[in-house]
Chains A and B, each alone.
Chain A
Amino acid sequence: MGLASEKPDLTRQSDVDLVRLCLGGDKSAFAQLVRRHGSLLRTHIRRMGAQGPDADDMAQEAFMSAYEHLSEFRFDGAFVGWLKRIASRRYLKKVRANQKYLLTDDMSAFEPEPAANEGEFRAHNLDAALNRLKPVERLCVTLNFSGDLSHQEIADELKLPLGTVKSHIKRAMEQLKTILNAKPAPVLETGT
């Protein structure tokens, strides 16, 4: 027979309950949130364009920042959405500071490989498809579809005109659909 004072099973708690427990000083509740959303956040940052170790560092910083500002979470949306916004802003801040990311319209540096190799491309791999986009298009489409930011919010964050953001997303979507709809290369059967 369980005691009433037993610790609740954190894996069965909702994000909101975990945040409340965390605000009450329960660090293990935050560890559970990290366990639950760590992969999602790391993927989100990678899809925006960060490289492996950088992405993990940024995901860690985002979690730590979230922990310190947990009292600012207003419970009016999904916790993971709030987390992604923190991560997105941190990534954009770092990108702007390091000037590693060029928000350029020059396509030449990011032209996809010739279409002759298209059939060999792994059609269903979203991450590989994202790698074939221009950085700014990749960023816009990821912020929109993964970060759940509106076009206007993306324009504000990137300090780009709204029309430019819309066209980046449109172009990116068209390219992604083309790439992901492409049939994988047929496997040659040699027979027996």
Chain B
Amino acid sequence: MSDMKLEDDDMRALFAATPVYEDATAFEARVMRGLRLKLWLRQGFVALAGVVGGLYALAQFVRVPNWSFGEKVLSGSRMARVETDQTFRAGVEFFDVIGKNAVNLFYSSVHYLGIMQTPIFFWVSFSLCLACLALYYAYSQEETI
């Protein structure tokens, strides 16, 4: 080839000729491993976000003031079991406790709504949403081809 003039087509052919790498198999394994890891991380991130969100919601739920779920109901049902000779009375008390719990829950909910309307609750929620949006935006920018 040294004696002839190289034309554009020859150059194109030279560019098209590709050396075979010795570690081609290792490279393929590396790409597929990276791909699996990325997919796993993404799924893991979604699952983690769900768990964190769920815990956050649960924490907010449990934080309802003056309200503890089932405590009085349990005492009512225990009474019904122990005082077998007064089953009717225990039953009445049981339903009474349930009624009182419902009323308690209603009042607590009103208070809970009050907490939800405080500025700190708003800013925490707003910041979380903004952080999520920022993460999604950053990710979409990174993935643009």
Using a CB–CB cutoff of 8 Å, the interface residues on chain A facing chain B are 27, 30-31, 34-35, 38-40, 42-43, 47, 56, 59-60, 63-69, 72, 86, 89-90, 123-124, 126, 142, 145-146, 173, 176-177, 180-184
The B1-52 residues at the A interface (CB cut-off 8 A) are: 1-2, 5-6, 8, 11-12, 14-21, 24-25, 27-28, 30-32, 34-35, 38
Do the beta carbons of B15 and A126 come within 8 Å of each other?
yes
Q: Give the chain A neighbours of B1 by CB distance below 8 A.
A: 123-124, 180
Contacts A/B (CB < 8 Å), 22 sampled: A31-B32, A35-B25, A39-B20, A39-B21, A43-B19, A60-B31, A63-B31, A64-B34, A65-B143, A69-B143, A89-B145, A123-B1, A124-B2, A126-B14, A126-B15, A145-B12, A145-B15, A146-B16, A176-B6, A177-B5, A181-B2, A181-B6
Q: Give the chain B neighbours of A123 by CB distance below 8 A.
A: 1-2
Chain A residue, CB-CB nearest to B2: A183
Chain B residue, CB-CB nearest to A93: B144
Chain A residue, CB-CB nearest to B17: A126
Using a CB–CB cutoff of 8 Å, the interface residues on chain B facing chain A are 1-2, 5-6, 8, 11-12, 14-21, 24-25, 27-28, 30-32, 34-35, 38, 143, 145
- With contact pairs A60-B34, A64-B38, A124-B1 given, residues A43 and B6 touching in the complex (Cβ less than 8 Å): no
Main secondary structure of the interface of A (DSSP, over half): helix
Main secondary structure of the interface of B (DSSP, over half): helix
- Cα(A67)–Cα(B21), bound, Å: 22
Q: Give the chain A neighbours of B143 by CB distance below 8 A.
A: 65, 68-69
- Cα(A89)–Cα(B143), bound, Å: 12
Do the beta carbons of A42 and B21 come within 8 Å of each other?
yes
Smallest distance from the beta carbon of A61 to chain B beta carbons, Å?
8
Chain B residue, CB-CB nearest to A182: B2
- Cα(A159)–Cα(B27), bound, Å: 33
Smallest distance from the beta carbon of A141 to chain B beta carbons, Å?
8
Q: Give the chain B neighbours of A60 by CB distance below 8 A.
A: 27, 30-31, 34
Smallest distance from the beta carbon of B32 to chain A beta carbons, Å?
5
